[in-house]
Chain A
Amino acid sequence: MASIGSVFEAESLVDLEFPMVPPADNRRHRIRWGRGLILWLAAAYFLIPIYAALHFSLQDNNGNFSLSPITAIPSQPGLGAAFFLSMRLAIVTMVVTMLLMVPTVIYVHLKMPRFRRVMEVITILPIVIPPIVLILGVLHASPLWLKSSPYLLSLVYVILAMPFVYRSLDAGLGALDVKTLVEASRSLGAGWLATMWRVLVPNLRSALLSATVLTIALVLGEFTMASLDLWETLPVWIVDFDQTNAHISTAVAMLSLIATFLLLTLIVSLDRSHSRQRRRNQSS
């Protein structure tokens, strides 16, 4: 069971870089050709739908080029409310996840190393239990006051994000010498909170960032639970608001894809520029 943990070796999205391999010599011309073919096919599969959707979202109902589907977006009823609901859910999910997971994972690393196996098994469970089944049980088991609040979704999203967040943090801590850091900090007189906040969290920057990215992407894109819990989050709104004008729906879909891409790129580049700066400071 515990070996399943090895599934997630890509914990750190922010750190994900492909291995640097020295350029192969010219003898391998044949694979280079095969590689080119694979990459061109993949590019076609991933880019043509984007082109098609952009093309489609820039048309009016008669099929002529038009910007009206884009300009019509801000005035659609319910968009603002759906957007802010999704944002609030993302923030609450983020905060609860971090408060719950960061101290627990650090503590397990420091004091209960054997418990990591148990943690691995527990955090794989949200994958074994499909979200649609989980929401079925959650809706039946929750008390009414909780069921009437949208933040029930946030509490369940914490569970959904757990597999990714745990593995991200676990890998981040694995790359640190936590014991030495903590002992150094404690013997210099720092309390536990100071040690966490001023020593461990800065060192876990990359892992925390990738956990954040994954959690936010998950919350902003989650449709299954939100729609069955009858809350109109952004993805639910996109389906519900206007079944009659497919051009506007596609335009909104494309905007949310572009926004996610920009958000991820921004967060990744924030991390890069920070580490570059750090390197510069060290060398001077």
Chain B
Amino acid sequence: MKTSDPSTTDIPPPSGVGGEVGGVRTTTGALARALRTSAPVLPFLVYVLLGLGIPTLVIINLAFRSDSGHLTTSNIHAITSGGQYLTGFETSLKMALVTSVVPGILGTLIAYAVSTSRFVTMKRLVATASGVFANFGGVNLAFMFVATIGAVGVVTSWLTRIGLNPWNHGFDLYKFWGVALVYMYFQVPLMVLVVTPALNGLRPAWREAAENLGASKWRYWRHVGIPVLMPSVLGSMFLLFGSGFSAYATAEALTGGTIALTPIQIGAYLQGNVISGEENIGYALGFGMIALMLASVIGYALLQRRSSKWLR
């Protein structure tokens, strides 16, 4: 591997960083040195380029091509001018928002409750269980919820016995809120997993200091606790947003592809359900998802900057 090549790694360049300007004599010398320093990182960069960069470029390219290969915006126009595809984007965004905000808050509360608990065994158990449940999704999860609160599920029969069959009161496991309920099963543990280390940063000394200065519990949270936690809570929620936006397996297995989510529509496209003359619609949908995710990243970064302002 790259580390076995002593000539590049034994002699550290003066600055240590590729492209750094300190102590450079000539531009070409600097360039050569920068290349030599960064050579061991090349396999990684090439891998990312091949595995991530090129597929992305292919999608963006095909999103703007007609079936005969000419440049066109008609695909983009088709998915943004109403109809099922626009509904798909709207539902997907709504799903991502609902399944990031609600599990975000619940996950933070659970993580806080566990982290301030006295029972060490429970802490361990919750840590391991979060790891398992956060990775639990797709088919298995769908089956589990069908057995729980499907039309003949265990909880459904309990509730029917007290006269509250949820299916008679507007609940449908295979529609938006049913799918959102199922998504929470992996989103909440994911939140617990990523927000717990941030709760470590909340030192007991701060609470004691606030109490000694006469602050009520509410004022402690308003002026110390929430501002300190906000950046990491928002960051974790963004991760949930991405996971909720792109989740495919769970919704596909649960609804058999009947719910109008963009990932489901892309899946249907890939499985060959294509109307002729719209052969690149799938790529346009993929491009749309990337664009929306990028917009969310930028929105998140702005929010993050605002929320972490006073920490500086």
Which chain A positions have C-beta within 8 A of B117? 18, 35, 39
B271 touches A10 (CB 8 A): no
CB of B86 within 8 Å of the partner chain: no
B51 touches A138 (CB 8 A): yes
With A108-B41, A127-B239 already in contact, 13 other A-B pairs whose C-beta atoms are closer than 8 Å = A1-B297, A4-B304, A10-B196, A20-B120, A42-B110, A50-B144, A52-B149, A103-B2, A103-B3, A111-B40, A112-B37, A137-B59, A139-B270
Cβ-closest chain B residue relative to A216: B135
Which chain B positions have C-beta within 8 A of A73? none
| Complex Cα–Cα for A45 and B181 (A) | 10
Identify whether the interface residues of A are mostly helix, strand, loop, or mixed.
helix
A10 touches B1 (CB 8 A): no
CB of B12 within 8 Å of the partner chain: yes
For window 210-243 of A, CB contacts with B under 8 Å fall at 213-214, 217-218, 221-224, 227-228, 235, 238-239
Identify whether the interface residues of B are mostly helix, strand, loop, or mixed.
helix
Which chain B positions have C-beta within 8 A of A126? 52
Which chain B positions have C-beta within 8 A of A115? 17-18, 38, 41
Which chain A positions have C-beta within 8 A of B136? 221, 257, 260
A6 touches B138 (CB 8 A): no
A77-85, A86-94, A151-159: which lies at the interface: A151-159
Cβ-closest chain A residue relative to B133: A46
B residues adjacent to A (C-beta < 8 A): 1-4, 6, 9, 12, 16-18, 20, 37-38, 40-41, 43-44, 47-48, 51-52, 54-59, 62, 106, 109-111, 113-118, 120, 123-124, 126-133, 135-141, 143-149, 153-155, 184-185, 188, 193-200, 202, 204, 231-232, 235-236, 238-239, 242-243, 245-246, 248-249, 252-253, 263, 266-267, 270-271, 282-283, 286, 289-290, 293-294, 297, 300-301, 304-305, 308
Which chain B positions have C-beta within 8 A of A72? none
B147 touches A19 (CB 8 A): no
| Complex Cα–Cα for A134 and B202 (A) | 38
27 pairs across A/B with beta carbons < 8 Å? A3-B301, A6-B232, A7-B194, A10-B194, A20-B120, A21-B115, A35-B113, A45-B184, A49-B145, A50-B144, A52-B144, A106-B3, A127-B242, A128-B290, A130-B246, A137-B286, A140-B62, A193-B3, A221-B136, A221-B140, A235-B138, A235-B139, A246-B146, A249-B143, A250-B143, A253-B140, A257-B140
B128 touches A53 (CB 8 A): no
B9 touches A111 (CB 8 A): yes
Count contacts between A and B, CB distance < 8 Å.
301
Residue among B56, B195, B249, B271 with max Cβ neighbours from chain A (10 Å): B249
Which chain A positions have C-beta within 8 A of B149? 52
A7 touches B235 (CB 8 A): yes
| Complex Cα–Cα for A217 and B190 (A) | 14
Range, interface on chain A:
35 or more
Which chain B positions have C-beta within 8 A of A135? 270
Q: Closest 9 interchain pairs by CB? A: A137-B55, A130-B246, A253-B140, A56-B147, A52-B154, A223-B249, A133-B286, A52-B148, A9-B197
Are A107 and B147 also in contact (CB < 8 A) when A4-B297, A10-B194 are?
no
CB of A144 within 8 Å of the partner chain: no
A49 touches B135 (CB 8 A): no
Q: How far is the CB of A198 from chain B (nearest CB, A)?
A: 13
Binary contact readout A243-284 vs B (1 if CB under 8 angstroms, 0 otherwise): 000100110011011001100110010000000000000000
A21 touches B16 (CB 8 A): no
Cβ-closest chain A residue relative to B114: A18
Which chain A positions have C-beta within 8 A of B245? 130
A128 touches B193 (CB 8 A): no
Contact for B300 among A4, A100, A214, CB less than 8 A = A4
Are A246 and B143 also in contact (CB < 8 A) when A48-B155, A115-B38 are?
yes
CB of A129 within 8 Å of the partner chain: yes
